[in-house]
Amino acid sequence: MNLGDSFDSAIRSIANNKLRSFLTMLGVVIGVGSVITMIGIGEGTKQKSLSELEVMGSNRITVMPNWGRGRGMGANDASTLKLEDVDRIRKEIPAAKYVTGVVSSRFSGQSTVKFGSASKRTGVTGAEANIRFIDNATRMHSGEWWTDEDNELMERKAVLGYAVYDELFGGDNAIGATIKIQNQNFEVTGVVDYKGGSGFNNPDDQVYIPLKTAQNRLLGSKDRINYISIQAMDSSIMVLLQGQVEDLLSSTRKNASGEELFRVMNQADTLQAIQTQSGILSMLLAGIASVSLLVGGIGIMNIMLVSVTERTREIGLRKAIGAQRGTILTQFLLESVVMCVMGGLIGILLGSAAVKLVAGIVQVPGVINLTAVFWAFGFSTLVGIVFGLYPAIRASNLLPIEALRYE
């Protein structure tokens, strides 16, 4: 009896017990499907996070006040960034291509923006005109940005993120229209093209106005700013630029204990953190899902032992007419492996469908990770070999006479 005959015999044995074979494979199906789904959703979440970071602008460094530091005399003044910090960075650090101070209504709650009967709660960002380069907001749906001159004159002009424009104007022309921000009139000069961002600083869901207008006419922050946004000349000097900014500000932004009252956040560090955390999460999820495969393997071993017991007389008869020990072992091992392979293939199909379904529900890209597919399928095959080996050995070791006597 050759390998082909053993394979054919294994298939017929599985087909003769369809329900039992399906229930046996179910653990493998669930395990493989879970691994593919978990890793696919984890990868999709990582891609979404990275794409959202990308739409916020490249080569970006942000300087934030280090809240909670400095509780002594003058702590509030020292812990709040000012325009003079922006000027120092601009003048003394050539590696900083664009620099602007930013005030945002999001730190105190969203603002109400109205046009006619339509209104929307959104974030209002006050910054210099170069914020369009830092925030990667140069591509316009319509109109243009207000200018540095508008900032100096504290003009009430606004550029709308696409989500705000769509909510207020519904696709109609917005250029030259007058909107109300906190009941103050602002002229719309432009609409930023759709970027597909989300989260706290979503560029689609905010209104950009001149920094000095925001400080003196709307948000009342005077010379204070919420944070400083910087774009580096090149991504290769991000670490150098971060060090230079830290050295420059540390001379004036420390409390009495010598603690720095600011934090410098590098976009590259954020990117690396997202990738690291996503990798750990994907491995953890895959490990949890793999438990299903092990449980499925135990189920296969159990059913195969039952099969050996049920077919003891058959095994004795085959040995009595000359079947070799290796032939019996191969047949039972193939039954186990075939069930795991079939379960793996079904699991791949169901897992791929589940990735698309869950991704649509949680609104992340549905990623079918081919490495995960091959790994899960290979592991399911290994489970079939490992957990099918003992029942196969037990069947092959049966003595013909004792097997024929078995009732």
**49-81 pLDDT per residue, tens:** 666 665 565 678 888 887 654 444 334 444 468
Position 69 scores a pLDDT of 47
Quick one: how far is CA 377 from the chain centroid? 24
Percentage of the chain lying above the pLDDT 70 cut: 81
Indicate the burial class of 247 (C-beta count within 10 angstroms; 0-12, 13-18, 19 or more): exposed
| 349 against 3, higher pLDDT | 349
Which residues have CB under 8 Å from 310's CB, separation 6+? none
Counting other chains too, the contacts that 289-293 makes at CB distance below 8 Å and 24 or more residues apart are: 289/31, 289/34, 289/35, 289/37, 289/38, 290/31, 290/35, 290/379, 291/31, 292/27, 292/30, 292/31, 292/34, 293/27, 293/28, 293/31, 293/32, 293/35, 293/376, 293/379, 293/380, 293/383
pLDDT at 318 over 80: no
Position 79 scores a pLDDT of 42
Percentage of the chain lying above the pLDDT 90 cut: 23
- Among 28-42, 83-97, 180-194, the minimum mean pLDDT is found in 28-42
**120-155 pLDDT per residue, tens:** 999 899 999 999 998 888 889 999 999 999 999 999
- Among 121-130, 174-183, 190-199, the minimum mean pLDDT is found in 190-199
pLDDT at 271 over 80: no
Indicate the pTM of the whole model: 0.60
What is the overall mean pLDDT for the chain?
A: 80
Confidence grade of residue 197 (pLDDT, cut at 50, 70, 90): low
